[in-house]
Amino acid sequence: MNAIQSSAFFWLGLIGLLALLAVLPTLIALIRGADDIGYIILINVICCATVFGWPIAVIAAMRWPSRHPRRPGATGEPGPLPPAGGFGRSLRGRGPNA
């Protein structure tokens, strides 16, 4: 156990893991494409110092509105139907050989 505690790789790995956990809310918000990412970063910086504030920052990053809303079919909901007649073009008034 003493050899692990004196190892530089152990401490660098531990510090790296803690740093990754500290910026996790910001990474989640970046991946989701959250709107006003500056607010999430501010919440992360202020709340990361406390044990109780970090989960608030994670929840805020997951619940913050996204810049790009999901497509209607992405959530399993049926999307709008295409217009009758195909692609919105009307064929009325044209002859049979047009």
The model's pLDDT over 5-36, given as tens digits with 9 standing for 90+, comes to 778 888 899 999 999 998 999 999 888 888 88
Q: What are 55's two structure tokens? A: 């989960």
**Residues 77, 41: Cα–Cα separation, whole Å:** 32
Q: Does residue 4 have a pLDDT over 60?
A: yes
Q: What are 63's two structure tokens? A: 């619940």
Q: How many CA atoms are closer than 13 Å to the CA of 89, on its beta-carbon side?
A: 4
Q: Does residue 46 have a pLDDT over 90?
A: no
Query: Which DSSP symbol is given to 72?
Result: G
Cβ-Cβ contacts under 8 Å for 41 (sequence gap 6 or more): 26, 29
Quick one: pLDDT band at residue 54, thresholds 50, 70, 90? confident
Element housing 63 (H / E)? helix 53-63
pTM here is 0.59
